[in-house]
Structure 1
Amino acid sequence: MKLAAQHHNNAIRRKCWKKWHMVIVEKWRRRVEKACQAKAQEICISLTSDYESKLQSLEEKYNASREEVMSLHKEREYYEENMKKAFMRACALSIWRL
C-alpha cells in the first residue's frame, strides 16, 4: 500500500512538474517572440527610412539630369537655328554676288 501511494505521489509530482515546465516554456516562448517581433519591426523601420532616403537622393539626381538634358536640347536648338540663319545669309550673299 505504501509503495502504491508513493508511486501515485510521484506520478502526480511528474504531472505537476510537466505542467509547470510547459507554462514556463510557453512564457519564455512568448517573451522571445515579442523580442524577435520588436527587433524585426525595428529593422524594417530602419530599412524603410534608408530606402526612402536613397530613393529621394536618386529622384533628386534624376531631376537634375533631366534639367541638364533639357538645357542641352535648348542649347542645341539655339545652335541649329544660328547655323540655319548663317547658312541662309551665306546663300543669300552668294546669290547676290552672282
Structure 2
Amino acid sequence: MEDYIKVLNFQPHKLPENYIADPDYAIKIFFSVHSIPQARQNICSLFRTWIKHINVYAEPSDILGMLLFHEQLIEFLEVSYIKGVKEGYLPKPTNEP
C-alpha cells in the first residue's frame, strides 16, 4: 500500500486507505451514488462550464486537450462500470432512460 501512497503523494489526495486496498469498493460506492447517465451529464456540465468560463482566454490546444480529457473521462467511467458488472460487485444494468 505504501507504493500507492508514494505514487499519489505528488499532490494531496483524499483516498481512504480502504479504497487503496480495495479499489473495487470505491467503484461500487461511486456507482451506488451516481448512475451512469447522471455521471455522464455531470461530466458534460463541468466541461460546458469550463468552456463558457475559459473560452475567451484559452488556446485552441487547451480546448482540444480538455475535450479529449472529457471524452476519456466518460470512457473511463463506462469501463469502470462494465468492470464492476463483470466482476459481480455492481448490479447488472437495467433499461434506464
User: Considering the TM-score relative to the shorter chain, is it more than 0.5?
Assistant: no
Larger Rg: 1
| Larger RCO: 1 or 2 (CA < 8 Å, sep 6+) | 2
